[in-house]
Amino acid sequence: MNATRQHVSEPTLAGSDFRDLTLDDVEQVVASAGERSYRARQILHWIHARGAESFDEMRDLPASLRSYLKLNFRIGHPVSSFVSRSSDGTRKLLIRLDDGEEIESVIIPTENRVTLCMSSQVGCAMACEFCATARMGLHRNMTSSEMLSQISAARRELNASEEITNYVFMGMGEPLANYPRLVRTLAIMTSEWGMGISPRRITVSTVGLVPMMERLLNETPVNLAVSLHATTNELRDRLAPINKRYPLEVLLDACCNLPIKRRSRVTFEYVMLAGVNDSIADARRLVKLIAPLRGKVNLIFFNPLPDSPLQTSSRAVVEAFQAILRNANLTATIRESRGLDIAAACGQLCAEQRATD
């Protein structure tokens, strides 16, 4: 690393998108330009706090540094190319990436929050039976810069009185299958040199990639949501095939081994599928599985997919299911469908379909 710092004419990380870089990286760049290290924070402040889209805007940098940066680096800023607005205030952003791929993000205003649902991959390889994104297969991982562009695109769509309060990686993709870039994104989001967002306001949702889940919880303080959906391996193998690699007992063991404080913050997501996983026996098995963890359960109305025989459970069934969990002293909430009229609801994100319909 020191060797590179001496080569003033050969920048480290040449060609990089600055929105992908951490403070360490930018300090290296600044050193390779022969500048003092405090310039790194100055540049990152321009990008993440002031939303600069070009080096020219960074007027308090020496002109020589600005031209060096312009010559050797770029600042990526994919923009939302299409916004759909739901009658319930939910807004879905279609974001076009540089290579023409498209991803979706959703702004969900509720009474006292504005949640941004973010994507982490173009498509997904996890093949869950009930999910629209799964039908695309995996096109590619998103870069950190691309993940972050969802935040700037969303901020541009907010009303003057709105501010994003919560960030959830529950859009397209399996965030933990894009681990290094996800962790970099989280570092940029939560660092004081980056966006300064509190990690408590960020939730990463996973289908249950156990080794990466354990790493994430050791390496970052963000919240974790685990998509459970079934109480037997037989059913989970079918609904979320990754279960064949990390079966229920392995997944729940990993959660059980978390320190109690972390454990009590894990949310288990459970998509309610009529006649598939919504029986009283399912609810009782779920209690047995989750009770030792003190985790929370979030029951989700299934949002129907075209050409799928799966149907959502009725409200009465979902409420009866919730009552069983609550009677066992578990925290169980029901997630209402939002943005259904613009195909922005849970599991409906699938840019490929949107682009061709």
Structure tokens at 311: 């149907």
CB atoms within 10 A of CB 129: 15
Number of residues that bind ligand SAH (CB under 6 A): 17
* Stretch (H or E) spanning 83: strand 80-85
**Which helix (H) or strand (E) is 103 found in, with range?**
strand 102-109
Place of tokens 């769509």: 157
Cα gap 127→300, rounded to integer Å? 19
Instruction: Identify the helix (H) or strand (E) that includes residue 185.
Output: helix 179-190
Q: Residues 104 to 143: which contact ligand SAH by CB under 6 A?
A: 126, 130-131
CB 355 within 8 A of CB 138: no
Q: Is 207 in the site for ligand SAH (CB under 6 A)?
A: yes
Each residue 284-313 as x (binds ligand SAH by CB under 6 A) or -, in order, gives ----------------x-xx-x--------
**Cβ contacts of residue 314 below 8 Å, gap of 6+?**
274
Q: Per rule CB under 6 A, is residue 318 in the interface with ligand SAH?
A: no
Position among 35, 104, 269, 278 found at the interface with ligand SAH (CB under 6 A):
269
Beta carbon of residue 131, minimum distance to ligand SAH (angstroms, whole number):
4
Q: Which part of the chain contacts ligand SAH (CB under 6 A), choosing from 26-34, 53-61, 141-149, 205-213?
A: 205-213
**Which of the residues 35 through 74 are near ligand SAH (CB under 6 A)?**
none
Q: Which of 144, 166, 206, 223 binds ligand SAH (CB under 6 A)?
A: 206
Locus of tokens 């959906």: 229
Q: Which of 33, 47, 107, 170 binds ligand SAH (CB under 6 A)?
A: 170
Identify the active-site residue in 128, 255, 346, 350. 346
Nearest-CA neighbor of 153 among 127, 119, 176?
119
Q: Which residues bind ligand SAH (CB under 6 A)?
A: 126, 130-131, 170, 174, 205-207, 227, 269, 271, 300, 302-303, 305, 346-347
**Residue numbers annotated as active site:** 104, 346
